[in-house]
Structures are given as structure tokens and as C-alpha cells.
A and B are shown apart, each in its own frame.
Chain A
Amino acid sequence: MDETQNKEQVNSTHKIGIYLWIWGLLFVLSFFSYLVDWFAFQGLLRWSLILTFMFLKAGLIMAFFMHLFWERYALVNVLLWPMTAIACFIALMAAEAQYTVFTRAFYFFVGG
């Protein structure tokens, strides 16, 4: 292993504290999302809490455990922009589901 490469990679490590912090936060956030079910919150409160904790956890894992926080924007943007396509797909299928359930309800209960 040559010396320059060795040196370069030693520079790239991060303090152990940051990993332990993220680890702890992930535990706390998971515990909170479990509590959402434990206290049986319903409706908008339940969904918004679940989504908040989910996105916080996903963000922490990607940013720090997967090192995206420290990567250059060229990589980060290539990875994150395709997610907008998924968001579009979700919106399309949500609309489609509304239509399907409407037609089902109509023909099952009202009749054709």
C-alpha cells in the first residue's frame, strides 16, 4: 500500500462521535414511530408523524451512514433527481387508485 493513498484515506474518516450520534438518533426516531402505533394515533396525525419520522430516518442514513453529506454535488444530484420520477409515479397511481375504487364501488353497490 503506497504512502500517498494511505494518507488520503486516513484523511477521509470522520470522528466516531458523529456515527454514534446518528445511530442514537435513528434509535430514538424508530422508537417514536413505534409509539405512533402504540398510542394508536389515527388519521392525519398518524400519517404525518409516520412520514416525518420516515423521512428523517432515511435522510440521516443517506446523509451520514452512506456519506452523501460529504460527497460532491455531481454524485448527490445524479442520485436524488430520479426520485422526482418516483414522486410523479406515486401521484399518477394515487389518482388511478381513486378512479378504480370509484368504479368498483359504483358497480358493486349501485350496479351497472
Chain B
Amino acid sequence: MSDNTLNNLPGGFKGMSYDMGSDQTAFKGVQWGKVMMWIFLLSDTFIFSCFLISYMKGRASTVVDWPNTSQVFSLHVGDVPVPLLLIAIMTFVLITSSGTMALAVKYGYERNRKMCAWLILATAIGGLTFVGMQAFEWSKLIHEGVRPWENPFGAKQFGSFFFMITGFHGTHVSIGVIFLFIFARKTFRGDFDTGKKGFFTTMKSDYVAIEILGLYWHFVDLVWVFIFAFFYLW
């Protein structure tokens, strides 16, 4: 989001002090909805951090061995157990959907309505696939006797952290999928080209909304990067 007047402003840290001290809009060239989404994501970062930090504290302070995630989350291909197979596929699906979302934002700003809409739809389907695989993983673990208060693999805290962290992330993905489907429909219909008013608002639709939705979706992917590293791989 840069125009000629923005390019004339000082950049870097000098630009930061200029923007903050300008006694006007602090975040120049950033649409207000985008700032609001960033602030929401910042608060969401803190929530996920609290979950992951409590997981760290719980895991580091138990005297019982932590379950071996590599084995707990393995899938059998034929007779061979492949460690973390489902989780790896889920990771690749989510990254793929993040890539299609990034391209959707690009094509949105280029006013390429059809391409943008198809890419949003692809993102939604990717997200739906992810949630489906997570549901499969949950039911598999529940079937094997994992509960928030006990599990057959090791430290009892494992279950509560697993359900809480992946559940909260899965909720975010599900909400994102719903919004992606809504936005795919809006884009196909041409709301962002005609500036049609939204359902809950009197403001005109604009392609910047797709970038804002994209920020949320990339954030969901970003959180998964941390969950994948700390919960599944560590």
C-alpha cells in the first residue's frame, strides 16, 4: 500500500518517529481495518503464547516421561509405522493454502476477480482438508484412550495440552474456512469490484478486505509453525 506521498516520507526508524510524532494517522498508508486485524492478531499471539508457555512449564516440570510424539502421531502405511505422517501432510496442506491465499491477495489488488475468487476457494478447501484431518487425528487419539486427564503413553498432562492447543488452533482454522467461503462467494459475485455494501456495514466492499482476511489466514499458518515445532517435533 504505497502511493507517491508515502514514498516521499522518510523511511526506517526516522520514518517511524516521523509517523508516530506526526499528530495524525500513526500507521500511514495502512487501511484502518488492516490495523485492527493486526492488533487482534497481536492479542491472539499472546493467547497462543500463554498456551504454549503453559505447555512448556507443564512438560518441563513433570517427573513422568512425556509421551513420544513421534510414535503417538505415527500412521501405519501397510504394516510400516511412519512417524508424524499425518501431521506432516497437515503442515503441507496448510502451507499450500497459505500460498494460494497470498496469490489471491495479489490478484485481488490487480482486479483479477476470477483468479482471486478461485484462489480463495482453493484456500478454503485446503483449510477444510486440514480441519478434516485434525478431526481424524482427534478421533484416533480418543479411540486410543487419550483424555485430558489421562493417556496410555506417559505424562497425564499430555492430553489436556494436546486438546487445548490443537483445539484452539482448529477453531481458528474453522472460523477462517467459514470466512473464506463467504469471501469466495462475494468475490465471484463481484462485490469488491462494484463496491457493494457489506451485510453488517454501510461501507463499500474493497479488495483490501481480502488482504485483511489473508492476514488472519497467514496467522493461522504461523501459529501452526510453532505448534508443529514445539508440540509435535520437540
Chain A residues at the B interface, C-beta cutoff of 8 Å:
1, 6, 8-14, 16, 19-20, 22-23, 26-27, 30, 33-34, 36-38, 40, 46-47, 50-51, 53-54, 57-58, 61-62, 64-67, 70-75, 77-79, 82-83, 86, 89-90, 93-94, 96-98, 100-101, 104-105, 108
B229 and A53 contacting across the interface, CB-CB below 8 Å = yes
A50 to chain B, nearest CB (A): 5
The residue from B63, B215, B226 contacting A58, defined by CB atoms under 8 A apart: B226
Residues of chain B with a CB closer than 8 A to A37's CB: 70, 83-84, 232-233
A89 and B49 contacting across the interface, CB-CB below 8 Å = yes
Residues of chain B with a CB closer than 8 A to A8's CB: 1, 3
A101 and B225 contacting across the interface, CB-CB below 8 Å = no
Q: Does B60 contact A (CB under 8 A)?
A: yes
Residues of chain A with a CB closer than 8 A to B88's CB: 30, 34
Query: Which A residue sits closest to B29, measured CB to CB?
Result: A72
A104 to B20, CA, bound (A): 50
Query: Known contacts A37-B233, A61-B98, A74-B28: does B2 contact A11 (CB below 8 Å)?
Result: yes
Query: Known contacts A26-B95, A97-B57: does B83 contact A74 (CB below 8 Å)?
Result: no
Query: Known contacts A37-B70, A70-B2, A93-B53: does B30 contact A75 (CB below 8 Å)?
Result: yes
A105 and B63 contacting across the interface, CB-CB below 8 Å = yes
Q: Does B111 contact A (CB under 8 A)?
A: yes
The residue from B13, B20, B53, B225 contacting A89, defined by CB atoms under 8 A apart: B53
Of residues 75 to 98 in B, which have CB atoms within 8 Å of A's CB atoms? 83-84, 88, 91-92, 95, 98
Query: Known contacts A72-B28, A94-B56: does B42 contact A79 (CB below 8 Å)?
Result: yes
B63 and A97 contacting across the interface, CB-CB below 8 Å = no
Query: Which A residue sits closest to B226, measured CB to CB?
Result: A54
Query: Which B residue sits closest to A20, measured CB to CB?
Result: B99
A105 to B11, CA, bound (A): 55
Q: Do most interface residues of chain B lie in helix, strand or loop, or is the interface mixed?
A: helix
Residues of chain A with a CB closer than 8 A to B57's CB: 93-94, 96-97, 100
A40 to chain B, nearest CB (A): 7
Query: Which A residue sits closest to B95, measured CB to CB?
Result: A26
Residues of chain B with a CB closer than 8 A to A108's CB: 63
Q: Does B153 contact A (CB under 8 A)?
A: no
A81 to B47, CA, bound (A): 16
Indicate the member of A97, A104, A108 with the most B CB atoms within 10 Å. Answer: A97
